[in-house]
Amino acid sequence: MRLSFLPLLLSISYTSFAQQPVFKAFETDTAAEPHGGMSFLTTFIQTNLRKPIAAEAKGVGGRSTLSGIVETDGRISEVKLLNSFRPDCDREALRVFKLFNAWKPAYKDGKPVRQEVIMPVLFKPNAPFVYINGAKVDYFERNNKPVLQDTSQAFYKRVTPVDTNGVSIGDIIVYEMKDKGWAEYFRLPFTTRKYYNYDMPARPLHSVGNQNYKQDWEGVVYVLDDTGKITRQSYYENGKRIGSELKYHLNGLVAEVDTKQDNKSTITTWYPNGQINQMKVVNGVQAFAQTDPEQVMSLWDSTGRQIVKDGKGQAIYQKLEKSYSDSTRHTLFIEQGAYENGYKQGIWTGRYADGSYFYEERLDKGICQGGKARTSGGDTLRYTIREQQPEFPGGMSGLGQFLSSNLRYPPKAQKANVEGQVAVSFVVCTDGTLCDYEILKSVNPDLDREAVRVVKKMNGLWKPGYQRGEKVRVKYNLPINFTLN
């Protein structure tokens, strides 16, 4: 008997849903809008939009106009194309707009209702370039100035193999004009390198991009997971990161944009549904130095409610952390307190939902004045400095003196005139010993071995790092230069 009623119940449920009307904006009492306003949606779209390589090669600009329905729970549904720009750009516009699910629903007669919205998605014009056989081709004069028109006058040609999203997938080869023909001048090898994820150490990641003769990154570098998804994107010149770095959520949306300028970073973050999360300024971290406090100017909770505005407000942060009582489980870490002028002010507290950890500290203009922390089954620790980096005796100058006194140039490398910078990573343990040595940047086997030998010689000499009165393990990256006079 129960089975005979099931089709009827499904029919009633479907009919009830299908009868919910869709209103135009002018038919509602309060129209649907993105949390934070239309400017935040526009920023979200332009941040996430990846112009297809074929359209980018032509340099064209235009609009794909879309429609969608904002549901009563703030999600977008039934996204469709109204006016086409070009098929590849239309597909990209649809991809991005479908992922924004942070709307305030429309209201009519005091109740949330479904509403149609229209959204033009802009693709900005750019300087065109040659794109042939899956490669981007650029031309340059003898002084390296780009040639945009008559390529017959070019002295250099750069060929970059790319996929449909413009991501480098092979060696970048630079040719020079010789005897009325192109001859290879040099190349930037396509390289894959292991990437350590400080936020999720267990997640295997690797960097892909091109390197120069010093084995420094050149151009756009992507960090991919083991499925090939992009988790991070940045741009390098001579191994130095410049401009903006992007981090991505698992669903492909941009999670964070970090723009560096004058040793400061302006950081904007988003929730996985596209909702704006935070806007802050962070000073650059110097080795062995106490970091200056970050300045949070705007903060929104996951529902779109702004809780910090113009640097003032009461904030609550929540994230998953490993439990202190059971490292195989994760529990919610809840922190809360006040911001004034963008800085943490007064009493801030943090606790694990399972009761395995708690802290309370007093801050003035973002600087810790004192605090206490307790783990389950442990003593209460009191501290005046919230975080302290591991330190080598004598600081940076002491470290430099140690390296210069103990580093030995391998005879084979010296005879072969091999130079370069070896980057070694290691962990400073809670007792000052070192472990987990790894070559991040290799130059030559002999130089690599010598760099690791010298780093291991520092074992036991370091002062450990501290966090809220507790000794902690800290990963450290050390570049070691080998230069022949």
Fold of 19-123: TolA/TonB C-terminal domain (3.30.2420)
Q: Which overall architecture, per CATH, does domain 395-482 show?
A: 2-Layer Sandwich (3.30)
Domain boundaries, the chain: 19-123, 130-188, 249-388, 395-482
Q: According to the model, what pLDDT value does residue 238 have? A: 85
Cβ-contact 426, 434 below 8 angstroms: yes
Contact 131, 57 (CB under 8 A): yes
Give the pLDDT confidence score for residue 147 in this predicted structure. 87
The pLDDT value recorded for residue 293 is 80
Beta bridge partners of 64: 121
User: Quick one: pLDDT at residue 284?
Assistant: 66
Q: Put residue 78 in one of left, alpha, beta given phi > 0 → left and psi -120 to 50 → alpha.
A: left
Cβ atoms 81, 64 nearer than 8 A: yes
pLDDT at residue 6, rounded to an integer: 42
Say if residues 353 and 330 touch (Cβ distance below 8 Å): no
The amino acid occupying position 325 is: S
Mean pLDDT per 10-residue interval, the chain, length 485 residues: 40 50 95 93 95 94 97 96 97 97 96 97 93 92 86 91 87 92 94 76 84 88 90 90 92 93 88 95 63 86 93 94 90 96 96 95 94 91 92 93 94 90 93 91 91 94 93 92 87
pLDDT of residue 134: 92
Q: List CB contacts of 347: < 8 A, sequence separation 6 or more.
A: 337, 360, 361, 362
The pLDDT value given to residue 339: 97
Find the Cα–Cα–Cα–Cα dihedral 398, 404, 405, 410, rounded to 10°.
150
Residue whose token pair is 């007064």: 346
